[in-house]
Structure 1
Amino acid sequence: MERGSHLAGAKGFFRVVSTERARELLAAVRPVRETEVVEVKQAARRVLAGPVRARSDVPHFDRAVMDGYAVRAADTFGASESQPGYLRIQGTIEMGEHARTPLASRAAMRISTGGMLPPGADAVVMLEYTEELPDGSVEIRRGVAPGENVQRVGEDVKRGTVLFERGWRLRPFDLGGLTGTGVVSVRVFRRPRVALIATGDEIVPPEQQPRPGQVRNINEYALVPMLAEAGADVTDYGVVRDDPDALRSALAKALETHDAVMLSGGSSVGAKDMALSIIMSFPKSSVAFHGISIAPGKPTILAHAQGKPVFGIPGHPMSALVVGMLFAVPLVRILGGEAPERAFAPRARISATLAEPVASAPGREDYIRVRLEERDGTRYALPSPGKSASVFNLIHADGLVKIPANAEGLEAGTTVEVLLL
């Protein structure tokens, strides 16, 4: 579609694509290029700009993985409940101690999980298979093989091993893995700067009593934290009135200093919806799609203005929240340098049995809200009651179930995948 095309009021406005095609087009958005080095303790949810390698072996010494006695395995061969073996207790290895004294033949040393094996020891007999005797010896009621209950140097991670590849979003427990190998800082992509502009004369602040025909601001308060959680540095432009000059001014200002702009509202074909016309008035403008075969959320835009992505989110709160979760969040993650296949992966999903039949219009991908319930050891997904336009229908749901575009619904008893909210 060429810049400056006359779009307002045209019924051919929509360039509807499938959800698969929408994801392909979003995946093609160029990520932020700038990088920065941050300390590991500040790196949670940041996206790596390059591979990270282990700086040391883990563990860097042979260590016990069970409480018990460090032994020479050969000294325990043949030991059993009926014919135990006996070893002299040579001493105790304290946690954090550098065990330097070699273990003598026919001897054992007390050791705790994580303790360093002394030179000469090659196995650990678990505490429950032993009993200390008054004469300073320990009874061994089960023999062990070399390496049993022991973690060798580098068995977990070898020095130089690639721990995480470029494009990996670091999770909190990943940070422990990094520091455990001696990594104290990492190079990450800069957080994408995203502007959120809400539009609509009908939207009023939450503290204001709306008049008939007006609604309180829902989308802005839900989308800002949603985008921030995905990794964006969000600038909230508030609500812009339904005026072409006001919207164009806000969009121009946002495009100057941000990597992408999200428009909430103004993306359906209505008399007052002018978003796409204004986007196309900017230089280097194009439209990838204006409509996704999905319900709720069909009137969704992906366009570019001044070479930067502009994503139009439907104004209806239910559609906005679903599109935000399924498409806006992955877009932010892609902008932040995350691999598209991971960016589109649901945060969490579980299987359940559909408790009731649900209908769907073929030709579009439907997402129904469900509640989860356990009955006799089986997890059921119960379609949420109430009209699909209800915001609290989504808020009170546990997750979403997708009905494929080629289906006319799902039968009760169908095993479904629930995308947890």
Structure 2
Amino acid sequence: MTEANDPNCSVEDTLSRYLDAISNVTPECETIHIEDALSRILCEDIVIKSDYPSFDKALVDGFAIKSSDTRFADRRNPVTLKVIGEVALDSNERLVVQNGEAIRVSKGSLMPENADAVVKPVDVIEEDGVIKVLKSITTDTCVTKKGEDIRANSVFIRKNRKLRPQDIGGIIGTGIMQVKVFKKPVITIIPTGSELVPLDVEPDAGQIISSNGYVLKGFVEQIGGVGKIASIVGDDLNQVKNAISKALEVSDMVLISGGSSSGTRDYTVKAVESIGGADIIAHGVLMRPGHHALLAVVGNKPVIGLPGHPVSNMTVFQVFGKPVLRRLAGITRSFWQDRKETIKIDAFLSKDICSPEGVEDFIRVRLIEEDGRITAYPYTGEASFLSTLVKSHGMVRIPAECACLYKGDRVEVTLF
């Protein structure tokens, strides 16, 4: 077992050290059908093996022609071309157009051989099997050329992209039906505490329905993992240790809800320490809520101990669990992806909020649109109040070096 050097490190330093500790963890890949690939993370570049489109095609309905035939055409001196046939949209017949001829085409249909342009119906007069072209048409007018969109052997979509509906459509359009993606990381959530009861049990006085696990499971699956809630574990060192050891065998990451503090019945830290190869990165972070967070690595797998109070529990996951899970899911920490996955908006504080200097504070806020701008109403102090979880839309960070933020200040709100 390796212990953390500083039990009271800043949030930024602690997260940096924790991500460094799992830097050699490489997500596994799997090949799946494109129908199942929505919101999955690409494990490798998608390379198009042939030109797209694979043939020259008409960009509009009209007449395929040789542009040289219309070099001197205008309304006073139209050029007459004989219409010799038609290419239907679903036809693969390659007709041939010669000088003085035209072939009717539909938008998207295969261009006839020798034709290098399409003239629109508005630019011709059609009568008795011929068209009179009223303007000069240049080469490639209204034609989509073979390979114009994507060249053969070029990268279509790069690795680490979280696939969107339009990505799925684009991939299918190129003829690719199997894609290689990162496997969804499996996250086991262990609820601890002798006071907890399952959902289907009516709690007695002093008992609490176990709910934190379902909050964490929801966040895990929003990001792209598979959340599994283990059975409730009582306040017993051996039970907690056994539950963690069992979870590590079938998981990529373990979240332990409750028991991370320093009370006589808080066994999470001792249980993790007793497992061979455990590396305690931090136990105690200069933040609130969530000061007693435990960050460890066991057998190259992240293990996070989260406080039992609902808001502290959620805050620790947002600050530490989410970045780690994104790493395990194969999501790179680029600016664009961070902005997409963690939405932040500006708002104006409704009242002063203060925090002890030296501690990074995460304040839950409710957002209301007033007078054309968004006002953030803070919830302070009620670390375990369930109502604040439901009513709040996000959180405001008060930096460790800042004592207070004041009414009317513009603040950045990280949405849940």
TM-score (norm. length: structure 2): 0.80
Residue 362 of structure 2 aligns to which amino acid in structure 1?
A: D
5+ long unaligned stretches in structure 2? none
Distance 2:350 2:133 in 1: 60
Residue type matched to 1:242 in 2?
D
Corresponding residue number in structure 1 for 2:189: 196
The number of residue pairs the alignment matches comes to 408
Contact kept? 1:326, 1:344, Cα under 8 Å? no
Of 40, 43, 61 in structure 1, the residue corresponding to residue 37 of structure 2 is 43
Question: 1:303, CA displacement in angstroms?
Answer: 0.3
Q: Which residue of 2 aligns with 1:100?
A: 94
Deviation at 1:402, TM superposition (A): 4.4
* Higher mean C-alpha deviation, range 267-276 or range 163-172: 163-172
Counterpart of 1:9 in structure 2 is none
Post-superposition Cα deviations, 1:218-266, rounded to whole Å, max 9, x if no partner, equal 2111222332343334332132111212111211222233332111122
Cross-structure match for 2:54: 60
Distance across 2 between alignment mates of 1:78 and 1:412: 69
Selected match of 2:390 from 395, 398, 404: 395
Contact conserved, 1:13 with 1:269, CA < 8 A, in 2? no
Q: Describe the shift of the 1:351–1:266 C-alpha distance in structure 2 as closer, same or farther (beyond 3 A).
A: same
SS of the counterpart of 1:309?
Answer: strand
Q: What residue in structure 1 maps to residue 405 of structure 2?
A: 409
User: Do structure 1's residue 317 and structure 2's residue 310 form an aligned pair?
Assistant: yes
Cα distance 1:381–1:211, how it changes in 2: closer, same or farther (>3 A)?
Answer: farther
Structure 1 position 284, deviation (Å): 0.9
CA contact (8 A) 2:362 2:395 kept: no
Other-structure match for 1:230? 223
Structure 1: give runs of 5+ residues left out of the alignment: 6-11
Partner residue of 2:248?
A: 255
C-alpha change, 1:187 and 1:87, in structure 2 (3 Å) is: same
Structure-1 separation of matches of 2:64 and 2:386: 62
SS of residue in 1 equivalent to 2:224:
coil
- SS of the residue 1:240 aligns to: coil
Distance in 2 between the 1:400 and 1:79 partners?
A: 68
Q: 1:285 to 1:356 in 2, by over 3 A?
A: same
One-letter amino acid of the structure 2 residue matched with residue 373 of structure 1 = E
**Alpha-carbon contact 2:117-2:142 (below 8 Å) kept:** yes
Give how far 1:310 is off.
0.7
Report the aligned-residue RMSD.
Answer: 3.7
Q: Map of 1:293-304 to 2, 5 A cutoff?
A: 293-304=286-297
Partner of 1:22: 15
Matched position secondary structure for 2:241: helix
The correspondence of residues 321-360 of structure 1 with structure 2, limited to 5 A, is 321-341=314-334, 344=338, 346-347=340-341, 349=343, 351-354=345-348, 356=350, 359-360=353-354
**Local SS of the residue matching 1:26:** helix
The residue aligned with 1:244 is: 237
Alignment of 1:255-294 (within 5 A): 255-294=248-287
User: Quick one: percent identity of the two aligned structures?
Assistant: 29
Query: Take 2:295 and 2:31, find their aligned partners in 1: how far apart are those partners?
Result: 32
Q: Which AA in structure 2 matches 1:395?
A: V
Q: 1:398 to 1:419 in 2, by over 3 A?
A: same
Q: What is the TM-score with the length of structure 1 in the denominator?
A: 0.80
Task: Tell me the amino acid that sits aligned with residue 284 of structure 1.
Answer: G
TM-aligned CA distance change 1:413 to 1:226, over 3 Å: closer
1:156 aligns with 2:149: yes
Alpha-carbon displacement from aligned partner over 1:88-146 (angstroms, at most 9, x marks no partner): 4454432232251133445554444333322333344556x446544455576776543
Amino acid in the other structure paired with 2:365: R
The answer (yes or no) to whether the contact 1:368–1:383 under 8 Å persists in 2 is: no
Measured at CA, do residues 73 and 189 of structure 1 come closer, stay the same or move farther in structure 2, by a change above 3 Å?
A: same
Distance in structure 2 (CA, Å) of the matches to 1:241 and 1:141: 87
Contact 1:23-1:327 at 8 Å conserved across structures = no
Maintained 8 Å contact 2:80/2:131: yes
- CA distance 1:97–1:310, change in 2 (3 Å): same
User: Could you tell me how far apart the structure 2 residues matched to 1:100 and 1:345 are?
Assistant: 49
